[in-house]
Amino acid sequence: MQTITAAVCHEFGAPLVIEPVHLRAPEAGEVQVEVKAVAICHSDISYAMGGWGGTLPAVYGHEAAGIVSAVGAGVSGFALGDPVVVTLIRACGHCAPCATGRPTGCETPQDDGHGPLSTLSGGRLHQAMACGAFATSVVVHHSQIVKIPHGIDMAAASLLACGVITGVGAVINAANLRAGQDVVVIGAGGVGLNAIQGARIAGARRIVAVDMTEDKLAAAREFGATDGVLATEEKPWRSAKAAMGRGADAVLVTVGAAKAYDLAPRYLAGGGKVIMVGMPHTGAASSYEAASFAAMGQSMVGSKMGEAVIRRDIPWMVDLYGQGRLKLDELISRRWRFDQINEAIADTKSGSARRNVIVFE
């Protein structure tokens, strides 16, 4: 049993506490990764605020990159020193969703009571989202990691673990967007910007960003939006449709706000899809006129982690990054030290950051 340092949540809504904890060695099928960078996702914040419930004490963090430092029995394809992206997508490979190419929906239960973390006194410490990457090292299942090229910037690479695959994947995998179609992206934060560049990469004709401020709309244009609409307008869907000359083939909701889901169908063309990416807090409800969906042949599609197959999608995205076609560096608002994690979280909660990244020396 080794001692590492982690940022532990002891109470929902309270600052995380950086403290020593125990991490066991990797068992069969597992790998240990020395974390070099971990980005702060709004999902981590929602969990730490108690928005989705959960078990405490816990270590959050699920958008990481690092170096393989130990390999458990039965693991092939990875060696000490390999640089990898670490995701929360843990897949058994043999249940019905895994077997049909949807590892984000893996149905094999994960034993929450016997994770690799524990307190110094031997007490239970929850490895949140099967990752627990707000720490100097993690032990995860081998299905959660993907090798990346040596020399790649670890802060940029960490974004591939969640924000990038969630946004780009929502367009490519969930919306199945075709070249020439029209897209509305509601929310131009970290995930929204990736949905925008995903639509650009897919060849969308018009990409309309909808957000609360002109600054956010300007950022959206940097990533490929052709038009911007302020959500504060009385009926913003009218401006979006005017920009496109029609309704949207896909409306991607990337914010966790129930009201955004209430309004999303108003942007659609006949046969269009609302892609549900952002996750409101538990209990938040939205309402729709079902007859409109039926009459117009429209649909609503959930998109978990961009429906990514990580060993297919992440290498593709790394290659696009190398070509300059996928923006990663531009997503990083600021790099923070580990001891600044609570400041970085506060900055993320302000809504001004694209992605804040904790970098370990």
- Helix, strand or coil, per DSSP, at residue 36: strand
| pLDDT confidence bin for 351, thresholds 50/70/90 | confident
Q: What's the pLDDT at 112?
A: 56
Domain boundaries, the chain: 2-161+327-359, 167-303
Task: Answer yes or no: are the C-beta atoms of 238 and 159 closer than 8 Å.
Answer: no
Contact partners, residue 342, CB within 8 Å, separation at least 6:
15, 16
| pLDDT more than 70, % of the chain | 99
Enter the tokens of residue 292. 């409109």
pTM listed for this prediction: 0.94
Question: May I ask the CATH class of domain 167-303?
Answer: alpha beta
| pLDDT confidence bin for 281, thresholds 50/70/90 | confident
Average pLDDT across the chain, whole number: 95
Contact partners, residue 330, CB within 8 Å, separation at least 6:
222, 223, 354
* Mean pLDDT lowest among 110-114, 231-235, 277-281, 300-304: 110-114
Q: pLDDT (tens digit, 9 = 90+) per residue, 118-135?
A: 999 999 999 999 999 999
Pairwise CA distance, residues 232 & 236, whole Å = 7
Q: pLDDT (tens digit, 9 = 90+) per residue, 84-129?
A: 999 999 999 999 999 999 999 999 987 655 799 999 999 999 999 9
Architecture of the domain whose range is 2-161+327-359: Alpha-Beta Complex (3.90)
* Mean pLDDT lowest among 13-27, 59-73, 278-292, 295-309: 278-292
Pairwise CA distance, residues 68 & 106, whole Å = 24
Q: What's the pLDDT at 113?
A: 55
Overall average pLDDT of the 179-200 stretch:
97
Q: How distant, in Å, are the alpha carbons of 121, 182, 216, 225, 266 from that of 244?
A: 60, 7, 20, 12, 14
